[in-house]
Structures are given as C-alpha cells and as structure tokens.
Amino acid sequence: IYLSLNATFQSSVTKPIAYRKRQLYNLARFAQENAEALAQCLFEDLGKPRQEALCTEINPVVQRALHAAQNLDKWMDHETGRFEVQPFQKNWKVQVEKCPKGVSLIIVPWNYPVILAFLPLIGAIAAGCCSAIKLSEMAPAVASFIAENLTKHLDANAYRVILGGVPEITKVLELKWDHILYTGNSKTARIIAAAAARHLTPLTLELGGKSPVIIDASSTDLEVVARRVLWGKVMNAGQICVSPDYVLLVGGGDVEAKFVTAMKKVYAEFYPQGALAYEGMGDGGYGRIVNKTHFERIRGMMEASQGRVVVRGKVDEERLMIEPCVIVVDQAGKDVLLEEEIFGPILPVVIVGSVDAAIKFVNERPHALTLYLFTETDRFRKTVIDHTMSGQVVVNDTVFHLTCGCFFDNLCSFLRSVSG
C-alpha cells in the first residue's frame, strides 16, 4: 500500500484540479448513496440512532465534499501582492504556490468513524495528496464496509484503507509518511508523535480533554441551560471529544436545587421511560458504550465517585448501556470524576461561589479542548474568556462550534480548517 501510494503521487496524477474535483464529487456520492448502509453500521458498532448518524456523521461528509469541490479553484489560486517586504525586495515578483505535500496517513478513532475518516480525506484530496486511512478495529462494521466499498467510488491507486489493530498500526508508523493526522486520546498521541519524530514527519493531532461548562446561574434560564447541556452530553452516549465534561454552577443560595430540578425535568422530556428504554435506530434513540472495557471504566468511575447522584444513572451490562447520570461533587474538586476525561454519559456538577472561583478551578487543570459558557451578561462572558485558555469558547450552547485550532498538551490541530 505504502509503495503504491508513493508511486501514484510521484506520477502527479492527483495534482490536476479536475482530478481532485472528480474525487471529491465521488466521495460525496459514496456517502450519499450509502447513507443507510453506513447508518446501519454505526448502529451495529455504537448503537447510534439513525437520525444522529445522519446528522453528525454522514450528511456533513456530503456537504463538506461538495463545498471543497465547489471552492477548490479559489483555494488553489496563487497568492500575490500582499507581502510585506524590505525596500530592496519591492521589485521582486513574489507569490505563494500551493503544492501537495505527498502521501498522508489518517488514523481514525472509533467514536466517529465515518466523519473523522472522511473530513481529513476531503482535505487531502483537495490538496492533491494521496492517503492511507487506518480505520479503527473497535468499529468493525464501519471499517469493513468502507474497506469493501470506498474504492468503488475513489481512485484505488491514490486512496487506500488499512485495517487491523495495534500490531498493524505499529508497523504502519515505522514508515516515512509526508503527513500524519491522528484523532484520539493523548496517551496514544504521544506514541504516534514519537514515531513521527523519527522521520521528522509533520503531524496534526486532534485530541480530547475535559471540556468545562461554566453557568452564570444569576442571569440564565436554567431550564434552557439544562436542555442544551444534557443534549450535548447524551450525544453518542457522551463518547465525543467535545462532550460537556463537568459543570461549574456559579451562584449561591438554592442554585443547586434549581439546576437539579431543571435537569430532572429535561431528562424526563428527553426520555419519559428512562434512556435505557430507547435503544434502537429510530428517532429519539439512545446509544450504547462501545465495548465492555469502556463500559467497566465508566461504571467504575460512577462507583468510585464520592458525589451525590441526583439524576438517574442506571446501567444495563448486557446491552452496554449507561443512562445519563448527574452527580453533584464537592467543591474541593478531588473527586475521581474531575481527574481524567470521562468520555461517557456522566456529568459531575460543582457549585462555586463566584466567577473567579470558576476561573481558578478551570485554570488549575490542563487547557480545555472546548469551554462552554452560559451567561446573558457581557461582563461575565468577557471575564471568563479573558482569564481562561481553551481551544475554543462556545457561548450559550454545546457541541456545535467552528473548529480552527485546539489546545491540548501544547499540541495544535487544524482538522477542519480550510487549510486542510
């Protein structure tokens, strides 16, 4: 695969704009024509409901591929006349030419195995690169389907799928790629970064982390806030890198009671019979945990927590399902739920007395991938944004945002930017 992709790139077949557009349109067609099959695979691997699969994984691939094809000419235009130069350089004819880097390796996680395979691929195709896509063995239905069907639409000489687990990816990382893109956790990222460093391979890492939610209880409608936070938490059963990880509820008096009441009401609206009753592909369904190992990890965190369970939290070991669970923990922040990224449907809530206390709490931990902020006052918003650091800040909503750069462990990602 590696030698074949390099030979294809050296032949320059992927460089013409017309070729790139054709591959982008073919990728959009692949996702569109196989939408139901891909949704079924996502349900088999993750219990992901059909509507969620279409909205968060499949339809965006179609939209982004078409967008790239329709804007490719503009993106590839030479850039001239906007450079600051020394006086003696003013007569130089300087321009930026956008050239493909070579053969890229895309390492895909299990939690969003369709969109996180194809968004980076769209960037690679648009740039004129060849790509190898290493799909996750933890999403076997998706991996098998893509491996069997993708090259029916794309040029098999330029874009290939790699299957397998740790032994296979270990061998793959011994090779010298022109660029590696990895989406996943920081522990694996360090291994990949070390492998890339041996060849000085450029690397893009899109990693997780604990994404806090700061709520200004004095200025917000707590029922609206609860609805938006819970919606973000139940998506893919909390198995998403930008899932709301913990809540800092700013206020005094009875703010805890009001927020818990709001959460209970919203949960009952989402799942009148409890989330465990909503397994299935239909609209309003609720996903499951990817495998037994992750199920036991999440359940272990719930059992080890010293906090008070205030909303649901039932589990079904046979079906690997865990209900959304809201747990109020001590302000000291020593609870197990506040240590590592949860990556599951548990939402710890910490009551803090002031915005300064919330800022201090956030800054004592590694930089967040995303910080969610709920407030109706400009002063509160500006105070939080000016005194914290995160990949992005989303005000009065969760999950959906524009992603251009993300901090985590001092590594920067540009996964979904125009630069590809």
Helix (H), strand (E), coil (C) string for the chain: CHHHHHHHHHCCCCCCHHHHHHHHHHHHHHHHHCHHHHHHHHHHHHCCCHHHHHHHHHHHHHHHHHHHHHHHHHHHCCEECCCCCCHHHCCCCCEECCCCCCEEEEECCCCCCCHHHHHHHHHHHHHCCEEEEECCCCCHHHHHHHHHHHHHCCCCCCEEEECCCHHHHHHHCCCCCCEEEEEECHHHHHHHHHHHHHCCCCEEEEECCCEEEEEECCCCCHHHHHHHHHHHHHHHHHCCCCCEEEEEEECCCCHHHHHHHHHHHHHHHHCCCCHHHHCCCCCCCCCCCCCHHHHHHHHHHHHHCCCEEEEECCEECCCCEECCEEEEECCCCCCHHHCCCCCCCEEEEEEECCHHHHHHHHHCCCCEEEEEEECCCHHHHHHHHHHCCEEEEEECCCCCCCCCCEEECCEEECCCCCCC
Tokens of 180: 């590696």
**Confidence (pLDDT) at 402:** 57
Q: How far is CA 270 from the centre of its chain?
A: 23
Strand partners, 326: 311, 347
310 C-beta neighbours (distance < 10 Å), count:
19
Domains of the chain, each with CATH number or no CATH:
1-207 (3.40.605.10), 212-403 (3.40.309.10)
* Average pLDDT per 10 consecutive residues for the chain, totaling 420 residues: 97 97 98 98 95 95 97 90 81 87 97 97 97 98 98 97 96 97 93 97 91 95 97 95 95 92 96 88 81 96 94 92 94 83 96 95 91 97 96 92 42 39
Burial letters 376-387, b for 16+ CB under 10 A, else e: eeeebbebbeee
In which region does residue 253 sit, left (phi positive, over 0), alpha (psi from -120 to 50) or beta (all else)? left
**Confidence (pLDDT) at 316:** 95
Burial letters 95-109, b for 16+ CB under 10 A, else e: eeeeebebbbbbbbb
pTM of the complete model beyond 0.85: yes
Active-site annotation, residues: 206, 241
**Confidence (pLDDT) at 92:** 87
Which residues, other chains included, contact 110 with Cβ-Cβ below 8 Å and sequence gap of 6+?
45, 46, 136, 138, 139, 290
